[in-house]
Chain A
Amino acid sequence: MSTSTPTRQPVTATAVGTRKRRPLLLDLYSTAVGKKYAMAISGIAMMGFVMFHMLGNTKMYLGAAELDGYAEFLKKLLYPLAPKESVLWILRVSLLGMLALHLHAAWSLTVLNRHARPVRYQSARDYQEASLASRSMRLSGIVVVMFMVWHLLDLTFGVVNTIGTDGVYVRSEVYANVVRSFDRWPVALFYVVANLLLGLHLAHGAWSIFQSLGWNNPRFNAWRVAFARGFAAIVVIGNISFPIAVTVGIVSV
């Protein structure tokens, strides 16, 4: 009759086991709360990157020489104290590390969360607070990563930079590469869409950071959402202005 009768035992001594201790950071990372710390810290690093990347790129409005010169400047960061490109490479590797950490934490939290509700609700949910941004973090994140790969192949490695054009990719001619790439409307469109999703990702992520890191204080709590949205808006507006500027001809060779 009854489909299954649970075996029942009295509850006792539930808190006498000891948890295996790992080295400090691994120990922290082993729990979901710790992984959120990893998400938040790597998120901050990448937020710093996208902001400076956007600011640097506005040099294109000052002309080819400025932008190309900025690229050269990056290579010479801290030169001659440090060898050429060394600092840039340290930054690149660190950022990749942060990205890897962000992705790993996101992946393992997703697995955890799927496991936490193996049988989904059989009727439609009526969400009250969850926003489009918060609910699309995985999707927006994946699209942004895919975009990043394209973006690197396009403007850093030049592999896809000349598809559909008759130009030649020259690494140091950043300005020309950008204009050539965005002259292709599907590329410009992809760029705009990806950046809008990045903005969505940041609008939730930049707020989440405060929660995940436990930065909570009535004195600034009201500003947390405003900061996240403002930050996202600045990055997105800056970034999508570039393909639009190329498309409408403000920036051209």
Chain B
Amino acid sequence: MTHLVSNLTLKVWRQNGPADKGKFETHVIESITDEASFLEMLDVLNERLIGENKEAIVFDHDCREGICGTCSLMINGQAHGPQRGSTTCQLHMRSFKDDDTIVIEPWRANAFPIIKDLMVDRAAFDRIVESGGFITSPTGGAPDANLIPVPKPVADAAMDAAACIGCGACVAACPNSAANLFVGAKLTHLNLLPQGQAERYKRAEAMVDTMDEHFGSCTNHGECSAACPKEISLDVIALMNKDYRSAKFKNRKQLSRK
């Protein structure tokens, strides 16, 4: 049942624009119900700030049910906070104890410049998808959906990878700011399906090349997968590496010759 969590010390990163240096600002939450979500706790704080005639803390959020991928936040050194397999919006105050200190920082990566306070720009992800994260299929010309059977295990594996919400926690958690889990997930989703075969290697090459312009490299720490709200497996990175190699070496005129 409902309990109160009291005397929380929040250290929130405030940064007035991309060029500002930024600093931690300390606020004390005297008490809040443990049913409140983490973002609702920030809502409460923001209303208080407005009451004090101060600017509200800027942070990205939208669906608040863990699927849109808009919310971010580094909470006590962990992307999306201490709860495994969930986004910040699905984190509740029952995960914290009285007198806890909670440090809140924005995602940090060269590819994710800070816009203001806790809000960052994750457009680099979109650039990667634009470069090849799709199956070319103009509206109207699609054959009957049941024409190509997809073995259930393949469909399931593609779905596992497709569950990615594009939140950027993998990049934020990675000690190298690498986006391999994000790119690997999209490639795995599309490259496993029969529909995705025609562009498979072109896609792998284009997306990896674009990723390279923005992000660091994978050193197999596994932090990305641990931070991933959808718990996407590191296997997707291996598949990406394999398809990228094939993209470079395969005779693409004779792709059917495996």
Contacts and interface: CB of A to CB of B under 8 A. Distances in A.
Tell me if chain B binds chain A: yes
Interface residues of B, number: 65
B226 A129 contact: yes
A209 B124 CA distance: 28
B194 interface: no
A123 B127 contact: no
A53 interface: no
B176 A129 contact: no
Interface in A57-87: none
A130 B226 CA distance: 9
Contacts of A165: none
A11 B175 contact: no
B121 to A, nearest CB: 8
- Among the interface residues B77, B105, B223, B241, which one has the most CB atoms of the partner chain A within 10 A? B241
Contacts of A219: none
A6 B240 CA distance: 34
B80 to A, nearest CB: 11
A3 B16 contact: yes
A118 B77 contact: no
B87 to A, nearest CB: 16
A36 interface: yes
Nearest to A124: B77
B242 interface: yes
B156 interface: no
A5 to B, nearest CB: 7
Contacts of B126: 11
Interface stretch (A93-101, A109-117, A171-179, A191-199): A109-117
Interface in B63-109: 74, 76-78, 82, 103, 105, 108-109
A116 B109 contact: yes
Nearest to A116: B216
Interface string B164-197: 0000000001011110100000000000000000
A214 B19 contact: no
A118 B109 CA distance: 7
A15 B77 contact: no
A48 to B, nearest CB: 20
A32 B227 CA distance: 22
Interface string B1-39: 000000000010100111110001000000000000000
Interface stretch (A23-31, A147-155, A181-189, A233-241): A23-31
A28 B177 contact: no
A145 B216 CA distance: 24
Given A113-B176, A115-B110, A122-B105, A36 B241 contact: yes
A113 B216 contact: yes
Contacts of B18: 3-4, 6
B105 A121 contact: yes
B60 to A, nearest CB: 16
Contacts of B217: 32-33, 35-36, 109, 112-113, 116
B53 to A, nearest CB: 15
A211 B238 CA distance: 5
A215 B207 CA distance: 20
Contacts of A47: none
Given A129-B226, A214-B245, A221-B235, A208 B220 contact: yes
Contact of B109 (A117, A210, A211, A214): A117
A4 B223 contact: no
Contacts of B123: 11
Nearest to B242: A214
B221 A116 contact: no
Contact of B78 (A19, A36, A126): A126
B242 A33 contact: no
Nearest to B176: A113
Contacts of B227: 128
Given A28-B248, A36-B217, A127-B223, A5 B17 contact: yes
A34 B247 CA distance: 12
B62 interface: no
5 contacts: A2-B116, A4-B17, A32-B216, A36-B241, A37-B241
The list of the 6 closest CB pairs from A to B, nearest first, reads A214-B242, A116-B216, A216-B238, A3-B17, A126-B77, A129-B222
Given A33-B212, A120-B108, 11 more contacts: A4-B18, A15-B130, A31-B208, A36-B217, A116-B111, A116-B176, A125-B78, A128-B227, A211-B237, A211-B241, A212-B220
